[in-house]
Structure 1
Amino acid sequence: MEKTFYSNGKLLITGEYAVLDGAKALALPTKFGQYLRISPGKDQVILWKSFDADRSVWFEDVIHFSDIKNKTHFDSTQGIKNTLIEILHQAYIQNNNFINNSEGYKIITELTFPRFWGLGTSSTLINNIAMWLEIDAFELLRKSFGGSGYDIACAQNDTPIIYHLENETPLIETVSFNPAFTKNLYFVYLNKKQNSKEAIQSYYKKQHHVTEIIEKINAITNIILNTNNLITFSEALNLHEIIMSHVLEMQTVKEAFFPDFTGTIKSLGAWGGDFVLAVSEENPSPYFKTKGYTIIVPYEDMIK
């Protein structure tokens, strides 16, 4: 009998990078996510097939139970398979019954967003696997892929959340976030998928004093969450960008790519790729399209 699991995608509005050090972050589950479908198999293997949003197959392979148990590492041309085995090996450590008490599986994953959008291909998979095996998704993430875990929290919740870490323990508060100006908010794809793992490693290499900015980021998160004034909202986003620009020693996305944009632009998650949030009095689609950025998603079409 087939079992089906579903997890939400995510967008991080405030607290990128700093959330790793305890800052309070506002994160929004998206209308898009990923399905995991499990059915019985045989021969002590998993027949794995992953579909993109357009129904094209972006990954397909046979994974032997022995490779999961032994955490077999294949050559660099099989990076996706290696990552998957790493996740499944940690899942095996947390609950070995799915290997020890099974003949095999047929597993299908189905994204409802294009894989290159960066809305949580890995986090939705990890949370789905954790639901299937009834294990702790945060531990599975921490010991396999790494990261703050806000994306797992979004995968599990259908409303906006405030997320932070306290002594490495995830604390999640569901909140109401529905400002009167959502019609002025747009998500723009930067035509580049950012590697979250590499971005986190780069952040940790920076010689910064992040504890000094935690209070500032927390205050900004509070303003963003509670204001119904578009100007106040935009000013808070701009301040967040300036603070993180100093920490990361990088230009803001507006300085780097859109200096002539009339409005506010904020990076979401790892800087340099995936989506940004554009705040504009008018529909900014014509502006971004002339710059070569054709994927512009209104707030109401993206967020639950």
Structure 2
Amino acid sequence: MAAPISAPVSDAFAPVAVAEPPQPAAPAAIRIEMSEELVEAQKKGRKKIIAIAVATAFIGGVLGYAVGGGAERGRRHDTALQGAAMLADEVQKANEEIEKLAEVLKKAKTKLAEGKYPEEEINALGGIDIPFDGNYLAGKGTGLMGNEVNRLLVKFAGDAVMANEQKETLKRVLTGRRKLIEDLLGQRENPKVNWGVYVANGPHGPMAGMQLIPEPFLVKSDKGKDGKPYSWPDEFELKDGDKTVKLKRYTSGAPGSELIPVDPTTQSAVCTSDTLVQLAREIGNLETTLKGDKSDPTNEKSGLVDTGTALLERLKSIGVGA
């Protein structure tokens, strides 16, 4: 008779197999896209501002995916709402300073066009500063505010820094060269002779040479310094290296070693003052930063005024209807 088949005896001390715990899903890759505006801003030297904005968005995204959970998402959502409200207040204050700066610049430009030195406007420039830069973006939850809001924030911060720098440069030009600027502005009503020409023999015939007059004199005046009827100088003392050369003023006949005064109304067309050129450039740069450039319809550039208005509207709309 066959022996009965016995059931396998379990070993009480045998190791118990433990099921492998489920592995958490790997966090989805986060893709940070940088718009053309951000790339252009980097080229202009605004790397710090962009780095703060991108890092803020990146950290916000990583925390959400790594930690997860409704509580964490809710916390980040609250941070973004509070950050948007704070940024709206800060942008509003910055916009007020931008409007002040634009108005002061407009008045200064008008006075200069009228031949007046803008002393009041220069003093006003010293009290204006746009309170916004890349540091204002940190810790505000901007990563949840959308691409357009982040683009506007970066542009606004970069342009605000630029406008503050341009304002200081303009102020330095106006104050550092005040005497020269006042003299040049005054010559619009009372022009002075600053240049003369002399005729010398050239390789193929007579040639005219340009000569800066050491002491410019008025084209016309009621009377001279001595109270007598006004007249032009009879001769000029000019430096020729270490020597001083005297040239008589040409009056008539064939010009020889004599100096002919140049009509100042024709001078600006060929010899523009470097100071006035720089002044016009600095005013133009700041004006473009504030108001933008819409001269080319195919490549319009918005300024701080428009950017600030659009940004404020976007920030105030965050969370509305949520």
What's the TM-score, normalizing by structure 2?
0.22
Bigger share in helix:
2
Higher relative contact order (CA 8 A, sep 6+): 1
Q: Which has the higher strand share?
A: 1
For the pair shown, the structure with the greater C-alpha radius of gyration is 2
Alignment TM-score, normalising by the size of structure 1:
0.23
